[in-house]
């Protein structure tokens, strides 16, 4: 906790966990790509 009373909540960084091997746990049905990969694919489609 910071002195200001705020705290930094840990959250997965999308650029670091887009593959399931980077996750501490994942269901087998996810395969190689985690749900975060969908965000990157959607962004790519939106930019076309």
What's the pLDDT tens digit per position in 6-42? 666 667 788 888 898 888 888 999 999 988 899 999 9
Report which secondary-structure segment, H or E, holds 43.
helix 36-47
Contact 1, 20 (CB under 8 A): no
pLDDT band, very low/low/confident/very high, at 46 (cuts 50, 70, 90): very high
Q: How far is CA 39 from the centre of its chain?
A: 9
CA dist 9 and 40 (Å) reads 23
What pLDDT score does 23 carry? 83
pLDDT at 3: 66
């Amino acid at each position: 906790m910071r002195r200001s009373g705020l705290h930094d909540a840990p959250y997965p960084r999308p650029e670091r966990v887009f593959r399931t091997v980077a996750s501490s746990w994942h269901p087998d049905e996810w395969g190689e790509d985690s749900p975060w990969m969908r965000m990157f694919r959607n962004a790519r489609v939106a930019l076309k």
